[in-house]
């Protein structure tokens, strides 16, 4: 099986995963106990059967379940996502996603990058210097970072940045971001300019540090274990016997093979970042798709909840496909079964 055939096969296998996840989302959201029609009505109209039926017709909830399911799946497939029920009533869901999603992707990008650039090198460093003071210090730091919940770390970081107000004379919001930032969200419209890039980056760095903290500790711990296992492999001893230099031995043999078990760890942590972004965006006031999902769930805006779940499913499946592609790059043996 060639590498291209392997990737195409994994892509085709992802299609039923998306369908199954979307079907479960429809059943949980629209067949659940939430009734958005009662939320649309005022308190005096909830006991009026005629007003209730009119609200159901307005929201499209009076159709039979099977017909509603087929229409729902068709709209998702064609990305005809309609309009919101309650939150931003009458607004296009497509427009909301295009407005809120880039902020979450920007936050997630920096969260993953911080975790990888700090956690993986520290794990490799500790693994190459096992049972030393540096190894013990790095391992202890990884355990501490891994143990701190995101919401607690976010509150503590906010308290720390808030305390800087009395020291530097400005609020932490104005200290980290431009004055014209609104509602704690990065301005993604100027991301193509140098000033806009720096402003958007500095805006999400505190939240990205919180969101990537648990991943950072986990990747450091797994990286250290992977290096220790690879160092004891027979091919490493054979390379030493052939006179391979220490530099080539570390970079070509040890570290590259140690990356193989880290790929699913990094991608699985990216899955957690999607769920964690709901809490972190809410605490830091970043109006991303996680914050939008939280508001839609609280308000009972079922179409928006179902659509955002569909977006989350696509992101997770896409990350999984990237994981399979990275496997084929790091380890050429992947995808050659039966060849």
Nearest to 87 by CA among 31, 27, 152, 39: 39
The reply to whether 62 and 161 lie within a common domain is no
The reply to whether 106 and 11 lie within a common domain is no
Coil, strand or helix at 261:
coil
User: CA 105, 106, 108, 114: dihedral to nearest 10 degrees?
Assistant: 160
Q: Which of 23, 58, 93 is the last residue of a domain?
A: 93
The reply to whether 63 and 132 lie within a common domain is no
0.85 exceeded by pTM: no
Please give the share of the chain, as a percent, with pLDDT higher than 70. 78
Side-chain-facing half-sphere of 284: CA atoms under 13 Å: 37
Averaged pLDDT of the chain: 75
Per DSSP, what are the bridge partners of residue 83?
Answer: 92
- Residue 280, judged by CB atoms within 10 A of its CB (0-12, 13-18, 19+), counts as buried
Helix (H) or strand (E) holding 314, with range, is: helix 302-330
Q: Which of 65, 93, 121 is the last residue of a domain?
A: 93
Q: What count of residues does the chain have?
A: 339
The reply to whether 81 and 101 lie within a common domain is no
pLDDT at 170 over 50: no
Coil, strand or helix at 286:
coil
Q: Which of 36, 67, 93 is the last residue of a domain?
A: 93
Lowest mean pLDDT among 78-82, 278-282, 304-308, 329-333: 329-333
The reply to whether 85 and 101 lie within a common domain is no
**Using an 8 Å Cβ cutoff, are 283 and 161 in contact?**
no
302 or 35, greater pLDDT? 302
> How many domains does the chain fold into?
2
**Using an 8 Å Cβ cutoff, are 71 and 82 in contact?**
no
The reply to whether 189 and 327 lie within a common domain is yes
| Residue range of the domain that includes 64 | 3-93
Nearest to 309 by CA among 56, 301, 122, 335: 301
How many angstroms separate the CA atoms of 179 and 173, rounded? 8
How many angstroms separate the CA atoms of 332 and 263, rounded? 14
The reply to whether 57 and 102 lie within a common domain is no
Q: What is the pLDDT of residues 283-303, one digit of tens each?
A: 777 888 888 888 888 877 777
The reply to whether 166 and 48 lie within a common domain is no
The reply to whether 127 and 74 lie within a common domain is no
Confidence of residue 20 (pLDDT cuts 50, 70, 90): very high
**Using an 8 Å Cβ cutoff, are 307 and 26 in contact?**
no
Residue 114: predicted pLDDT: 83
Nearest to 172 by CA among 183, 185, 163: 163
pLDDT at 222 over 70: yes
The reply to whether 211 and 267 lie within a common domain is yes
The reply to whether 237 and 130 lie within a common domain is yes
- Residue 101, judged by CB atoms within 10 A of its CB (0-12, 13-18, 19+), counts as middle
Q: What is the pLDDT of residues 231-283, one digit of tens each?
A: 777 777 787 777 777 777 777 777 777 777 777 777 766 666 666 677 777 77
Average pLDDT over residues 103-111: 83
**Using an 8 Å Cβ cutoff, are 5 and 338 in contact?**
no
Lowest mean pLDDT among 87-91, 211-215, 224-228, 268-272: 268-272
């Amino acid at each position: 099986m060639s590498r291209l055939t392997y990737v195409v096969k994994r892509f085709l296998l992802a299609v039923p995963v998306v369908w199954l996840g979307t079907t479960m989302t429809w059943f949980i959201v629209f067949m659940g106990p939430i009734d958005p029609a009662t939320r649309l009505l005022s308190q005096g109209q909830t006991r009026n059967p005629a007003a209730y039926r009119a609200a159901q017709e307005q929201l499209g909830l009076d159709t039979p379940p099977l017909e509603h399911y087929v229409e729902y799946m068709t709209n998702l497939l064609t990305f005809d996502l309609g309009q919101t029920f309650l939150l931003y009533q009458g607004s296009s869901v497509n427009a909301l996603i295009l407005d809120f999603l880039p902020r979450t992707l920007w936050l997630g990008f920096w969260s993953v990058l911080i975790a990888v650039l700090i956690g993986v090198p520290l794990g490799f460093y500790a693994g190459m210097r096992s049972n030393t003071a540096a190894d013990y210090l790095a391992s202890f730091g990884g355990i501490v970072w891994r143990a701190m919940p995101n919401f607690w770390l976010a509150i503590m970081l906010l308290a720390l940045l808030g305390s800087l107000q009395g020291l530097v004379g400005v609020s932490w919001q104005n200290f980290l971001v431009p004055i014209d930032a609104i509602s704690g969200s990065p301005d993604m419209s100027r991301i193509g300019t140098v000033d806009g890039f720096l402003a958007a980056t500095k805006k999400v760095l505190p939240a990205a540090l919180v969101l990537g903290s648990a991943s950072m500790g986990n990747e450091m711990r797994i990286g250290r274990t992977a290096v220790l296992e690879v160092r004891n492999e027979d091919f490493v001893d054979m390379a030493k016997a052939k006179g391979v230099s220490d530099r080539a031995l570390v970079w070509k043999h040890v570290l590259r093979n140690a990356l193989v078990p880290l790929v699913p760890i990094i991608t699985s942590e990216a899955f957690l970042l999607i769920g964690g972004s709901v809490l972190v965006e809410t605490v830091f006031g970043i109006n991303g798709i996680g914050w939008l999902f939280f508001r839609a769930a609280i308000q009972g805006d079922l179409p928006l909840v179902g659509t955002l779940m569909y977006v989350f499913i696509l992101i997770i499946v896409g990350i999984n496909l990237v994981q399979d592609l990275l496997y084929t790059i790091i380890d050429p043996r992947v995808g050659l079964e039966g060849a």
